[in-house]
Amino acid sequence: MANEPVYTTVDSVKVRLAGKVQFQAGSVPVDGEFPNDLLCQLIVDAETDVEQELRNRYAVPFRSIRTGRFIDMPNHSIRAVRSLVDARAVILVLSTDFGRGTHIDGSEYYKAMEAQYEEKLDKMLGRVRESSHGLAAGSSQIVRYRFAPPIEDMLLAPTNSKADDGYRGMIINTDQHRDSATYAAEQVNDPSKNYLDTFGLRLRRGN
C-alpha cells in the first residue's frame, strides 16, 4: 500500500471525482477501474506538489506554530490546505487516467479544477488578484496583487518569517498619538490634514 496522505483523505478526493472516475471496489484489480493504491500514491504526490508550491512562504511539512503538528491548526486553516491538496490530486488523477470505465467527458471539469487550483494557490501565497475594469477587448492585462496575511497558526518558512508577519502593505502609523486607522482616515478624508492639501496651502501662502 502506498504512503498514507497527511493533509487530506482518500475519501475527500474520491468525492470530488464521483461520476468521473470508477474506483476499484475490492483488492482484486478490475479492468476499467482506477486502483486504490495508485489513487493513494497520487494524493501523496499532490501533497508533495503543494508543499513545493508553498515552501517559499510556509515551513514544510505544514504545521501549527503553537504545537508543531498539522492536526492542531485551526479547522479553517486545515480546510484551506486540504482543499488545495484535493484540487491538485484531482488534476493528477484526471491527467493520469481520466474517465476510465465511464463515458463522461471531463475536459471542462479538468479545466475548472486547474483554474480553481491556481486561485486557491494564490490565496495561500497571499496573492489576492485585483480586478481590472475598463480594459478594451483584446488588450493585454497587467495582473496586480494585494498582499494578504498568512494562514492562521501555520508556521512560516524560516527564509521569510521575519518579513511575512501579516502586516506588509498596511499603512504605517507615523503619529504616536492616534491609531493607524484614524490616522489613515484623516489623511484620506480630511483635506485640512492630508499632506497634499498642506503642500497646496503652503503654496497659496507663498511659502
The predicted model scores a pTM of 0.69
pLDDT computed for residue 33 by the predictor: 81
Q: Say which residues have a Cβ less than 8 Å from residue 43's Cβ, sequence separation at least 6.
A: 5, 8, 10, 13, 85, 89
Span 177-183, average pLDDT: 60
Cis preceding linkage at 61, omega within 30: yes
Q: Is the pLDDT of residue 62 over 60?
A: yes
Strand intervals (E) in 32-179: 127-129, 145-147
Q: Per-residue pLDDT tens for 148-162?
A: 888 999 998 887 766
Q: Is the pLDDT of residue 182 over 50?
A: yes
